[in-house]
Amino acid sequence: MRRESDVTELRRVLCAALESGRPVGTPGRLGLHHERFTRAEVSDPQRPTLIGGVPQGPSSPVGLLAVDELLRQAEKLGLEQILVPYVRRTDDTGPLRAAGFVAAAAGSEGLVRLPGEVADVLRGRVGEQRLGELRARHDEHRELSWELSRLGDLPRQPAVREAFAALHQQEGGRGALWSAEALDALAQGTLADRTDLLVRRRGCDVVQAGLLIRSHNGRGIYSLTQALAPDAPAVRQALYEASLYELYLHARRTGLEWVHLGPGDAERTRALGADQFVPLDHWLLAPGVDAEPEKPTEIEVSAFATEPVAAVPVPGPARFRGRPKFDLLDLSGNTNPFLGADGRYPELDTAELARTYLTTVGRLPGHEGLGKLGAECALFTSGAVDAVMLLLAALASPGEAVCVTPPTFELYAHFARVLRLPVVEAPLLGDDLARLDVERILAADPRVTFLCDPNNPVGTRLDPEQVLELVTRSRGLVVIDEAYVEFSAGHSYAPLIARHDNLMVLRTLSKAWGLAGARCGVALAQPGLVDALRRVQVPFGFTNASQWAVRDRLTDSARVLDSVRRILSERDRMARALAQHPAVERVFPSEANFLLVRTHKHERVMEQLRGAGIMVADTARLVPDTCRVSIADERAGDTLLDALSRVR
């Protein structure tokens, strides 16, 4: 519905609905209310208004609207008010703003993508309980017919035509635009061959009527309108949800990849399975409505970005990640169209997935405030370790030091040296290796300081007062790697990024979330820092398969939390057993899913474990005479203890 011919056709249908031969109506009649536009002193909802766009369609593509022509039409008709409804915020709205139009939020378009079987897809979007509700409602309405017929057959169905119009007139609002005359106009036009009339009956009574239009690229379907019999609200909602579930099944049966739900409230459509949202605005030109100052549309890159990174934009495809492509005929990718959906590049718009991640993780203990961060504060990477390379490339120039705090994750220093950045060390202090040498770090004045908290390979948490002191006093960037924080009783530092422009927190779904194979890390920082990393990130690195896996796992967080509890229980059992074992000298305290163990006769221990077919991480080069033992199930733990008992 983004083609000029489609928009022109829907405007012709609008004229038929208004019975005027021209797109002139009132916001009140069109159901396009907005408090900002309907105050008596600003704009009259009953004032004759030129409608620039298609209020009964998915959205109004600004690029196809000639703003100058709208102004000329309004002047010719003697109208003071022009309304362009449901404009995608991702479109170029500069011409509207330049002409004096003012925007007001109008919800968002919701898209239900269907990469697999409907039940499996919805389970990953809305959870098992909500899926059960949708399926139950679908089953409850199986007695209703499901009739689809080409709109071109409408002349042979006069009773259906009248029922369709009657239900829409009872709906009121935007539904009232779908009069019998509008339906006739659509049936006689160029969209008729792509439009199906949906009718559901209870016996002989029509209880639902709607229009489904296939996209011109052949990949999806627009639910253009649905009108329901005037029953109780709960009954109507149940019928609507039952019909949507059947529509999803129909789309899958016919090889379609998405269903467009039209404009609405994001939370409502999210509960119906929508997983892509396009923000919409109404644009109004009217007496008394003053234009606002133009707000910057692009994120200003962080001052921490290197000069070369600050001088270049985000690479081409990623720069347009927020502009939806689902309803375009995409001939830009040079891929093979004959081998299915995997022949297309992965989705770049991960804003909804970021919102899901922040909201879900923000409910965990110790993560209060994380859900308040915007999607622009999160960047998905190929594991958290990928973010280490990205941030060093984007934020550190040759000669600028990188500080690490050994014993710590070795790839921080490794990647710094690969990029020819000097590495300075400020070893951790204390018997538990849990204290920072803050003054030593500050004296080195590093461009980037890496903190691993909980620490790998030790498992301890750093002193939070020292961490905050370092973030506050440092002139450079402080990066806190929280790969294991879900196993800790302490707090995450991620909610603090809103207050500190030099703080970045790295997270992963490889550990507690059990998605090591999906390769998904998350870099959390203020938008300017995220933008800097995006400028050096390879586009399309986050595959569709990984995105679906992450979404499914986030929706199933209860199972994740249960597995974390099992790991913690086994960790405590193993810590007690190892501490009493003759082969063990010390077990370090741990707030991770592993234990750092100092052994007697370290080389013999490692040889014995290798001979028993057991692999642990030999960390003796980091902490003398130690190995790092991952926590698995009780059987694995007992096997390890038995092998240690054979050390001589």
How many residues belong to the chain? 648
Cis peptide before 158 (omega within 30 of 0): no
pLDDT of residue 3: 86
Q: Tell me, what's the pLDDT at 297?
A: 65
The pLDDT score that the predictor gives to residue 41 is 45
Residues 6+ away with beta carbon under 8 Å from 43: 27, 37, 81, 284, 286, 287, 288, 289
Beta bridge partners of 278: 109
Q: What band does 37 get if pLDDT is binned at 50, 70 and 90?
A: low
How deeply is 541 buried, as exposed, middle or buried, from its count of CB atoms within 10 A (0-12, 13-18, 19+)? middle
65 has pLDDT over 90: no
Contact call for residues 469 and 421 (beta carbons, < 8 A): no
Residue 36's pLDDT band (cuts 50, 70, 90): low
Q: Based on the fold, state whether residues 618 and 586 are members of the same structural domain.
A: yes
Q: 19 vs 223, which has greater pLDDT?
A: 223
Q: Is residue 325 part of a domain?
A: no
In a domain? residue 478: yes
- Looking at the structure, tell me whether residues 539 and 478 fall in a common domain: yes
Among 3-7, 25-29, 35-39, 326-330, the range scoring the smallest mean pLDDT is 35-39
Q: Are residues 264 and 239 in the same domain?
A: yes
Is 4 exposed, middle or buried, given 0-12, 13-18 or 19+ CB atoms closer than 10 A?
Answer: exposed
Distance CA 520, CA 548 (A): 11
- Domain final residue, candidates 555, 578, 611: 555
Does 528 share its domain with 631?
no
Residue 294 within a domain: no
pLDDT tens, position by position, 233-284: 899 999 999 999 999 999 999 999 999 999 989 999 999 999 999 999 999 9
Of all residues in the chain, the percent with pLDDT exceeding 70 is 96
The average confidence (pLDDT) of the chain is 92
Q: Looking at residue 64, what is its pLDDT?
A: 66
For residue 260, which of 107, 108, 125, 109 has the smallest C-alpha distance? 109
Q: Name the pLDDT band for 40 (thresholds 50, 70, 90).
A: very low
> pLDDT class for 1, splitting at 50, 70, 90?
confident
Asked if residue 510 and residue 578 are part of one domain, the reply reads: no
The token duo for 433 is 């290796």
Domain check: are 524 and 578 in the same one? no
Cβ within 8 Å of residue 581, ≥6 positions away: 641, 644, 645
Element (H, E) at 529: helix 527-534
In this structure, the answer to whether residues 543 and 567 fall within a common structural domain is no
* Residue 612 in domain: yes
CATH number at residue 401: 3.40.640.10
Cα(557)–Cα(550) distance, integer angstroms: 11
Average pLDDT over residues 337-342: 85
Residue 188 near residue 155, CB atoms below 8 Å: no
Q: What is the mean pLDDT of residues 586-597?
A: 97
CA dist 461 and 134 (Å) reads 44
* Range from 52-56, 82-86, 263-267 carrying the lowest mean pLDDT: 52-56
| Residue 602 exposure: Cα atoms within 13 Å on the Cβ side | 18
203-to-193, 206, 207 alpha-carbon distances in Å: 28, 8, 10
Query: How do residues 183-222 score in pLDDT, each as one tens digit?
Result: 999 999 999 999 999 999 999 899 999 999 999 999 999 9
Q: Is 404 exposed, middle or buried (0-12, 13-18, 19+ CB in 10 A)?
A: buried
- In the DSSP assignment, the letter for residue 613 is T
Read off the tokens for 407: 């014993």
pLDDT for 351 beyond 70: yes
- The pLDDT, as a whole number, for residue 55 is 86
**Residue 185 in 3-state DSSP?**
helix
What the block records as the tokens of 601 is: 């006769």
Q: CA 391: distance to chain centroid?
A: 22
Residues 590 and 547 in one domain: no
pLDDT top residue among 495 and 171: 495
Is residue 190 included in any domain, yes or no?
yes
Instruction: List, in sequence order, every residue forming a beta bridge with 503; answer none if it has no partner.
Output: 478
- The pLDDT value recorded for residue 31 is 75
Task: Give the residue-averaged pLDDT of 140-150.
Answer: 92
Band of the pLDDT at 19, cuts 50, 70, 90?
confident
Of 527, 555, 583, which residue sits at a domain end? 555
Confidence of residue 33 (pLDDT cuts 50, 70, 90): low
Considering its fold, how many domains does the chain have in total?
Answer: 3
Asked if residue 141 belongs to a domain, the reply is: yes
Give the CATH number of the domain where residue 615 resides: 3.90.1150.10
End position of a domain, from candidates 262, 285, 308: 285
pLDDT bin (cut points 50, 70, 90) of residue 43 is low
Query: Under a CB-based contact definition with an 8 Å cutoff, are residues 98 and 206 in contact?
Result: no
Same domain, 116 and 231: yes
SS3 annotation, 307-370: HHHHCCCCCHHHHCCCCCCCCCCCCCCCCCCCCCHHHCCCCCCCHHHHHHHHHHHCCCCCCCCH
pLDDT the model gives residue 38 = 55
How is the beta sheet containing 49-51 ordered, strand by strand? 24-25, 49-51, 82-88, 276-285, 102-113, 258-264, 220-228, 205-214, 195-202, 147-150
Q: What is the CATH number of the domain that holds 51?
A: 3.40.630.30
The reply to whether 548 and 578 lie within a common domain is: no
Answer yes or no: do 192 and 278 share one domain: yes
Q: Give how far the C-alpha of residue 202 lies from the chain's centroid of Cα atoms, to the nearest Å.
A: 39
- Report residue 166: phi and psi, to 5°: -65, -45
Inside any domain, residue 336: no
The answer to whether residue 220 is domain-embedded is: yes
Instruction: Output the six-digit token pair for 124.
Output: 């990953």
Full domain range(s) for residue 279: 4-285
pLDDT tens for residues 289-327?
776 666 666 789 999 999 999 999 998 888 888 888 899
Is there a single domain that holds both residue 274 and residue 370? no
